[in-house]
Amino acid sequence: MRPCFKIPLLTTIILIVFPSMPLFAAECEPIAHLVSIEGNIEYKAAGSESWQPARLEQNLCNGDTLRSDRESRAAVRMVNDTLLRIDRGTAIIFTNVVKKDRSLLDLLKGAVHFISRVPRSLEIKTPYV
């Protein structure tokens, strides 16, 4: 009897030829990252329905949603060097954050403090205004 090595050999060849091919999910271009977390902060990736615990230095992409519970806060640095201080009970979608032009955020609830050393154009959608 000859052992069958075709399947393992084929799998090995595919992994060697296509090492950078994502197996489960495509990577997105980071537009922000978490620089501070106090308490429970969760994020939902664009196109996902499930919330995941956020971690320090985690990258965020356009379309991602970040939320804090009633006892939590976070700070996010965007690619345009704007710092966002996200207060308790806040939910925000990073709709279209860009480095040079006008960025767009969707503030679903809560409060955010924006800090920028350079004048930037920023559009914020809220359910109230």
Query: Rounded to a whole number, what is the largest CA-CA distance in the chain?
Result: 76
Q: Give the domain extent around 36.
A: 27-125
Domain count, the chain: 1
Provide the b/e sequence for 13-35 (b: ≥16 CB within 10 Å).
eeeeeeeeeeeeeeeeeebbebe
Separation CA 42–CA 44 (nearest Å): 7
User: 117 falls in which pLDDT band (50, 70, 90)?
Assistant: confident
Task: Dump pLDDT digits (tens) for 56-102.
Answer: 999 999 999 999 999 999 999 999 999 999 999 999 999 999 988 88
* pTM, 2 dp: 0.76
Residue 41 maps to a domain:
yes
Residue 12 maps to a domain:
no
Residue 64 maps to a domain:
yes
8: number of Cβ within 10 Å: 10
Residue 123's φ and ψ, nearest 5 degrees, are -110, 130
Among 99, 66, 63, smallest CA distance to 85 is for 66
